[in-house]
């Protein structure tokens, strides 16, 4: 279960949903090729509900986060309730219930990485991205930095996940270059 | 091999032979290396016979619990029901990163093992559940599955055998608990990843309520080698005096060590030589202080205990710990054990699925107390409170995540009590009046 962005107990600050623009109509995700892709996924399982995690990934890949309106769309496509969808979304740490920076940076600080200096890597990312704190997006909208629990790459300390890509063996010295290469 | 380091002569690379060799990743490359011969052979063999070979080989589950694989498979009978195979690729136990390398370098090795096991348990459908963060392994395994379908290895007539074998890759979304077998099944069904109360066991009512077998990536990738070379070939790996621990095992080594990485050795390897020869010993000018030898959920060893331990299931129990997932975490003399144990308990507090009160509350209380001791605000009673909470967290919950949080606290307090006491002695705010000290604020 996710209890916030900071594994070491820092501030937990999240932006309120920005999906409440009733004047902007919601554009559905599951139309055209995306609908066909979902149908292929559905054919792999004996229940519709089993396609929920894959469908949520499709939403997040398309929109960057999973808004309440998107949860309603998934619910109607899979014949489940929006409340059920929200219950599932909120269980898993990787689904964003709020917009995040263009580059979502996750630094592992669990014990095996921690003993290799992972907390200094976190500090370097906060400093060089201009993010005021863990979980907060930088003013230019480029970055959000969080601490994450074991990424399953402990021999490559400190691994950092930037959106879908892994960067292995990051040291504080390497952080300015990594950040400058992210548009 | 000791990937990312060259293979050490004392390793026994079976699964890791092609780590670092991108040629093994493709379907053609895998076939050139003898891949899919075992599957072809197995699809023409009666499942019962495959179960017997795996039972005879002595293979035990590599996901952490060490359950005999052949016995697990033998719960699956030709009863005419729909059966499922789940491959557990959720690898999230701190210290463990072996399944990641298997999937990155030999994705077809995994697909072959999954297809073979599906046939052996009378299943037509298998799901590989990969943790959401493993984007690169996910891409390689998905590609391998697609290529295997295109080549007719998977599908309605797998390798021309007349049997249907479907393999699907399913991506998780961030939750350590989904590595617990019944939580994984719930997650695959599109639910919150809460472990289920057992019984019923998965072999009776598992995924979608059907008889299900679940195995770890390393376990399943090993099976084709056993089918191809025979149970007797596999039995050569292990100590002669311990028939209960057979085979090669990947150990992931991390933390304060000269050459972190994955090492594959025959079970029964001496841990002292493992740490100091294969892994290069401590970092220059440092000394090893403690080792957690089997992923973060197993008891901590002192350096002396670790160096005397034998790396197999029974050897680790004799050393007072467990083989677990084979994730070896090394701490050197710079490390503050209180701080690091507190960090581990925070991991478990974060990952508790919160169904059981002993776990939900216990992981949080333990973390709060550990962190106040870390911060020099602990009291002498805190140590007793920690042990009392640990007692209440062990053996009383739906799954063993709760016990796993208690383990480093109890073993850490037993072996590094002086570090806890030094932290508490440094607490100047503590009122030291005999018989009346501050109540724990937990
Ligand atoms: C909290 C928890 C987390 C687990 N995580 C994993 C995991 O990431 N990978 C894994 O293979 N087994 C994990 N297991 C063990 C599985 O429940 C199960 O025993 C294993 O997948 C069976 O496969 P095997 O017999 O091949 O080892 C976990 C167990 C618990 C209690
Ligand atoms: S022990 Fe913890 S993680 Fe396991 S089922 Fe209970 S609350 Fe969930
Ligand atoms: S502890 Fe950092 S990747 Fe495992």
B355 pocket-lining for ligand 2 (C-beta < 6 Å): yes
B400 pocket-lining for ligand 1 (C-beta < 6 Å): yes
pLDDT at B432 (0 to 100): 52
Q: Give the pLDDT band (50/70/90) at residue A73.
A: very high
- Global pTM exceeds 0.90: yes
Q: Between chains, do A49 and B190 touch, taking CB under 8 Å as contact?
A: yes
Q: What's the rounded Cα separation, in Å, for the pair B381 and B96?
A: 34
Q: How far is B232 from chain A (nearest CA, A)?
A: 33
Structure tokens at A133: 């704190």
Most B CBs within 10 A among A9, A91, A151, A167, hence the mutation to make, goes to: A91
Burial class (CB within 10 angstroms; exposed 0-12, middle 13-18, buried 19+) of B32: exposed
B351 pocket-lining for ligand 1 (C-beta < 6 Å): no
Exposure string of B121-146, with b = 16+ CB inside 10 Å and e = fewer, is: bbbbbbbbbbbbbbeebbbbbbbbbe
Could you report the predicted ipTM of this complex, rounded to two decimals? 0.94
A7 contacts in B (CB within 8 Å)? 346-347, 350
Q: What's the rounded Cα separation, in Å, for the pair B251 and B269?
A: 11
Please give the helix or strand (H or E) that residue B166 lies within, else none. Answer: strand B166-171
Does residue A98 register a pLDDT over 60? yes
Most B CBs within 10 A among A79, A147, A152, A165, hence the mutation to make, goes to: A152
Residue B188 sits at φ, ψ, to 5 deg, of -60, -30
DSSP 8-state symbol, B68: B
Q: What is the pLDDT of residues A138-151, one digit of tens each?
A: 999 999 999 999 99
- Sequence-separated (6 or more) residues with CB below 8 Å from residue A61: none
pLDDT at A15 (0 to 100): 47
B290 beta partners: B302, B331
B127 beta partners: B86, B168
pLDDT at A14 (0 to 100): 46
B130 beta partners: B89, B171
pLDDT at B215 (0 to 100): 98
Residue of B354, B408, B326 lying closest to B175 (CA atoms): B354
Q: Are B390 and B406 in contact (CB under 8 A)?
A: yes
Residue appearing with tokens 């973060």 = B296
Please give the helix or strand (H or E) that residue B225 lies within, else none. Answer: helix B217-229
Residue appearing with tokens 């129990």 = B317
Q: Between chains, do B136 and A166 touch, taking CB under 8 Å as contact?
A: yes
Residue appearing with tokens 């699925």 = B353
A91 contacts in B (CB within 8 Å)? 175, 192-193, 353
Does residue A1 register a pLDDT over 90? no
B328 beta partners: B253
Q: Rounded to the nearest whole angstrom, what is the distance from the C-alpha of residue B326 to the centroid of ligand 1?
A: 12
Sequence-separated contacts (24+) of A29-36 with Cβ below 8 Å: A29/A58, A29/A59, A29/A62, A29/A63, A29/A70, A29/A73, A30/A55, A30/A58, A30/A73, A30/A77, A34/A58, A34/A62
Q: How far is B220 from chain A (nearest CA, A)?
A: 19
pLDDT at B426 (0 to 100): 87
pLDDT at B437 (0 to 100): 45
- Which residues in chain B come in under a pLDDT of 70? 1-2, 428-442
Q: Rounded to the nearest whole angstrom, what is the distance from the C-alpha of residue B196 to the centroid of ligand 3?
A: 27
Q: What's the rounded Cα separation, in Å, for the pair B192 and A91?
A: 6
């Amino acid at each position: 279960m996710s209890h916030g962005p900071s594994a070491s107990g820092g501030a937990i600050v999240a932006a309120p949903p920005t999906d409440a623009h009733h004047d902007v109509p919601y554009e559905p995700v599951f139309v055209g090729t995306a609908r066909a892709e979902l149908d292929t996924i559905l054919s792999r399982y004996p229940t519709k509900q089993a396609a929920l995690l894959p469908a949520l990934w499709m939403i997040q890949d398309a929109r960057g986060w999973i808004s309440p309106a998107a949860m309603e769309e998934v619910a109607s496509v899979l014949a489940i309730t929006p409340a059920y969808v929200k219950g599932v979304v909120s269980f898993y740490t990787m689904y964003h219930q709020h917009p995040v920076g263009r580059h979502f940076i996750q630094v592992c600080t669990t014990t095996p990485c921690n003993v290799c200096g992972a907390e200094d890597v976190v500090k370097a990312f906060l400093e060089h991205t201009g993010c005021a704190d863990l979980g907060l997006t930088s003013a230019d909208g480029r970055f959000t930095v969080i601490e994450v629990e074991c990424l399953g790459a402990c021999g490559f300390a400190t691994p950092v996940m930037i959106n879908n890509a892994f960067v292995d063996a990051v040291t504080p010295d390497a952080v300015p270059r990594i950040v400058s290469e992210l548009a | 091999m000791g990937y990312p380091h060259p293979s050490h002569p004392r390793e026994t690379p079976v699964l890791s032979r092609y780590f670092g060799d991108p040629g093994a990743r493709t379907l053609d490359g895998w076939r050139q290396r003898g891949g899919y011969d075992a599957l072809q052979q197995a699809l023409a063999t009666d499942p019962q016979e495959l179960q017997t070979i795996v039972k005879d080989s002595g293979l035990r589950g590599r996901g952490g619990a060490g359950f005999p694989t052949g016995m697990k498979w033998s719960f699956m009978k030709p009863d005419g029901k729909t059966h499922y195979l789940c491959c557990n690729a959720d690898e999230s136990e701190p210290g463990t990163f072996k399944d990641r390398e298997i999937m990155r370098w030999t994705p077809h090795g995994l697909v072959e093992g999954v297809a073979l096991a599906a046939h052996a348990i009378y299943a037509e459908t298998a799901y590989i559940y990969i943790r959401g963060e493993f984007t690169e392994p996910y891409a390689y395994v998905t590609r391998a599955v697609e290529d295997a379908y295109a080549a007719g290895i998977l599908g309605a007539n797998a390798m021309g055998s007349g049997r249907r074998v479907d393999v699907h890759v399913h991506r998780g979304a961030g939750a350590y608990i989904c590595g617990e077998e019944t939580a994984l099944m719930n997650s695959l069904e599109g639910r919150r990843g809460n472990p289920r109360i057992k019984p019923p066991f998965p072999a009776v009512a598992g995924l979608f309520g059907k008889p299900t077998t679940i195995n770890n990536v390393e376990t399943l990738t090993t099976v084709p080698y056993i089918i191809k070379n025979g149970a007797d070939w596999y039995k050569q790996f292990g100590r002669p005096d311990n028939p209960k621990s057979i085979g090669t095992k990947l150990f992931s080594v991390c933390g304060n060590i000269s050459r972190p990485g994955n090492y594959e050795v025959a079970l029964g390897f001496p841990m002292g030589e493992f740490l100091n020869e294969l892994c290069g010993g401590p970092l220059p000018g440092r000394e090893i202080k403690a080792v957690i030898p089997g992923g973060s959920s197993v008891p901590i060893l002192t350096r002396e205990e670790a160096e005397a331990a034998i790396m197999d299931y029974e050897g680790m129990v004799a050393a007072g710990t467990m083989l677990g997932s084979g994730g070896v975490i090394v701490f050197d003399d710079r490390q503050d054990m209180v701080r690091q144990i507190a960090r581990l308990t925070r991991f478990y507090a974060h990952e508790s699925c919160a169904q059981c009160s002993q776990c939900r509350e216990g992981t949080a209380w333990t973390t709060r107390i550990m962190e106040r001791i870390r911060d020099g605000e602990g009291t002498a009673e805190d140590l007793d409170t920690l042990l009392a909470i640990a007692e209440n967290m062990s053996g009383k919950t739906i799954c063993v995540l709760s016990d796993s949080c208690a383990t480093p606290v109890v073993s850490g307090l037993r072996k590094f009590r002086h570090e806890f006491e030094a932290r508490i002695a440094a607490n100047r705010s503590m009122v030291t009046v005999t018989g009346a000290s501050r109540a724990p604020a937990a």
